[in-house]
Amino acid sequence: MKKSKDEIKAFLGKDTEFEGKFSFTGSVRIDGKLTGEIFSNGTLIVGESAIIKSRIHVADMIISGEVHGDIFAENKIELNVPGKLFGNIQTPKLVLEEGVIFEGNCKMKDLGKEGEKELALSEEKPEGLSILK
């Protein structure tokens, strides 16, 4: 049985659309479309059918859908298949399942404990990936 702090407090279903500033406490699951800004000290769960276009600041994030935008996660970002993430991220812990798509830059620094709350990420998107041999 889940602990009460892990229970989902709100749910935006598959056929919902939201535009604007979205803030919450606890855990929220989104399966619809959201455009705007997201702020929380809780967990954001992005379902497989979700399409998010947002600047995001949360404690934890679990992505199985599609996210476009920069993410600051104080604790952890988890990207699960068939998840897609297009944007820059900053988090102390990152979990990428084999088969996900991630295009962007990642900065793994624990700024939450240092009290720095600004998303210190480059606005530039990478032109391509290079593999060092």
Q: What is the pLDDT of residues 34-61, one digit of tens each?
A: 999 999 999 999 999 999 999 999 999 9
Task: State pTM to two decimals.
Answer: 0.77
CA distances from 2 to 7, 8, 68, 84, 94 (A): 7, 10, 30, 27, 23
Question: Helix, strand, or coil here: 72?
Answer: strand
